[in-house]
A and B are shown apart, each in its own frame.
Chain A
């Protein structure tokens, strides 16, 4: 079993819709969680950190469920510019290195 698992997609979503990404992780000792966004042929960019109480940044909401070892990202009122691959990231406690999910590709259609 992979340490961080995501649905590979792609998710094809009409503009304006709400889309949710899910991610599970296997190490219950993990402490830090992030969502990254990667555009085609570009570097990953930090979208948001995920806090235990949940956090929101504009149209984006991230949530963490430690009991189920589950992270989610919700995008409301999706825009064409949201088309990208969304990567779930967990920090390995032993060496503070990033453990990456394989990413979920999102395609927003007009």
Chain B
């Protein structure tokens, strides 16, 4: 099993550019989430989904969009990149509410 796969691993964007961070899981998990991690800030929830077709906002959703058209995929779109979005982004999935999450290896994004 691949688990949770994130691509790309590294990305440099210019301010104002848009891009999509990909996340796919092969464990048939219903719950998927996107986090960002900044030094000294811990993990902060951006968006999450409890199943295909269902998404909701987390703590820091501004500047990001998500969609969940299939159980497997949960892409995160940066609409117009800003330097404040420089961070490490993690995608995670869980089989259901109340269970632990499995994380992807992360995407390191730098916006210049």
A contacts, CB < 8 Å to B? 31-32, 34, 42-46, 49, 87, 89, 91, 95-98, 100-103
Q: A43-B103, A45-B103 are in contact. Are A31 and B45 (CB under 8 A)?
A: no
Interface of chain B residues 81 through 103 with chain A (CB within 8 A): 90, 92, 94, 96-103
Q: A95-B56, A101-B42 are in contact. Are A43 and B104 (CB under 8 A)?
A: yes
Query: A18 to nearest B CB, angstroms?
Result: 25
**Total interface residues on B, using CB and 8 Å?**
25
Chain B residues in 8 Å Cβ range of A103 = 42
Across chains A and B, the number of contacting residue pairs, with CB separation under 8 Å, is 49
Query: B13 to nearest A CB, angstroms?
Result: 20
Q: Is the CB of B45 within 8 A of A97?
A: yes
Q: Is the CB of B90 within 8 A of A44?
A: yes
Q: Is the CB of B98 within 8 A of A91?
A: yes
Given contacts A91-B98, A103-B42, 11 further A-B contacts (CB under 8 A): A32-B99, A42-B105, A43-B103, A43-B104, A44-B43, A45-B103, A87-B43, A96-B31, A98-B43, A98-B45, A98-B92
